Structure 1
Amino acid sequence: MSKIWSRLSGLFRNRTFIGADKAGNQYYVRTEQIDGIMKEKRWVEFKGEVDSTSIPVEWICWLNGQRKIAPTPEEMAILEARRQRKENVALLKKEEEERKAREGTGRKIASMGKGDGPDLKSFIQQLPVDKSAEASEATSSKRSAKIHEEKEVQDQAKQETESAEPTGSGASFRPGTWQPPT
């Protein structure tokens, strides 16, 4: 009976309080010699009902020996704030989806593919007219006339040489006239 009593009293005398979590659970450590080797024993005392799911991950890692140093209150506060932010983001996303479902399909976002693009003609018409714009308009009309002539030349070349043999654009090619497609 005295051995049991000495072990129980030793259990409570040699323990060192390490910290507590937000649920009120308290964490302790005790160093004891087992078979000539100093071992560190770590445990938790639950506040109220024993519920292992109430232990935060950081304290679980410390209890299992995956962490050498117990989590500090500052670290726990930072991690709790991060968890709360994640919960808030998930809640906001859920509310946004519910709002969109109530509103219906709402406005549709047009995709910008290769064929879709801004209407440049209407944009240019909105700009104030000045002399430099008139000059650039004249050069653009010259370019479009040149491109039109080149297309006619290419069409004529195609009509003249309709054969099964592959042909290049050597007959109709003019250096410096190529323009990227618009």
Structure 2
Amino acid sequence: MSRIWARLAGMLSNRRMVGVDKAGNRYFTRTEEIDGIMKQKRWVVFKGEHEPTSVPVEWICWLNGQRKNAPTPEEMAELEARRELVRLNVARLKAEEERLAKEGKIKVTSVGKLAAPDLKSFVRQFPDATEGDTAAEASNAEDESRSSEPSGSGESFRPGTWQPPI
């Protein structure tokens, strides 16, 4: 029982707060020895309700160990400003596209979740299954009449048609 109490007290006393994000989530770390190896444990304490989607990408990278150091407040402010600039640029591009579409200079096509991929053009690039069967039968008949050595040039080469002699 004393070992459990000591471990619990060690976890609480050994933890160190690394930072806070703009949602108020607090990030902690502690170093512990596991099987003779010192490992750093990282975790988040959510402000209010447990909402994992409120964790910024930079903090997720730090929690997963993809970043060595925790993001600084200056870095977070710079990245937020960059994201806002991208949002503004996207809004400007959409407004410009709508203006050009109204003037008739461009045709607006819908690209989004409602647009489905064109599967017919995708399927057209593959031969029909029936064509492949007849071609395989014809090549087998030709192979029997030819020598056992593979031959042919780059134009007539078809992978998988030559079979070694039995």
TM over 0.5: yes
Q: Which residue of structure 1 lines up, in the alignment, with residue 35 of structure 2?
A: 35
Distance of 2:87 and 2:99 partners within structure 1: 18
Q: Which residue of structure 2 lines up, in the alignment, with residue 105 of structure 1?
A: 103
Q: Which residue of structure 1 lines up, in the alignment, with residue 57 of structure 2?
A: 57
Q: Structure 1's 4 and 99: CA in aligned 2 closer, same or farther, altered over 3 A?
A: farther
Q: Give the superposition deviation at 1:64.
A: 1.1
Distance of 2:76 and 2:55 partners within structure 1: 12
Compute the TM-score of the two structures, normalised by the length of structure 2.
0.57
Q: Which residue of structure 2 lines up, in the alignment, with residue 141 of structure 1?
A: none
Structure 1 stretches lacking a partner, 5+ long: 110-182
Aligned length: 106
1:68-107 aligned at under 5 Å gives the runs: 68-101=68-101, 104-105=102-103
Distance of 1:48 and 1:66 partners within structure 2: 26
Q: Give the superposition deviation at 1:65.
A: 1.1
> RMSD over aligned Cα, in angstroms?
2.0
Distance of 2:94 and 2:16 partners within structure 1: 45
What per-residue deviation string (whole Å, max 9, x for no partner) do you get for residues 92-114 of structure 1?
2223334445xx326x59xxxxx
Q: Give the superposition deviation at 1:17.
A: 0.8
Structure 1 segments of 4+ aligned residues over 6 angstroms from their partners: none
1:3-18 aligned at under 5 Å gives the runs: 3-18=3-18
Q: Give the superposition deviation at 1:5.
A: 3.4
Structure 2 stretches lacking a partner, 5+ long: 107-166
Compute the TM-score of the two structures, normalised by the length of structure 1.
0.52
Distance of 1:73 and 1:61 partners within structure 2: 15
SS at match of 1:30: strand
Q: Which moved more, 1:33-42 or 1:92-101?
A: 92-101
Q: Give the superposition deviation at 1:15.
A: 0.4
SS at match of 1:71: coil
Q: Give the superposition deviation at 1:35.
A: 1.0
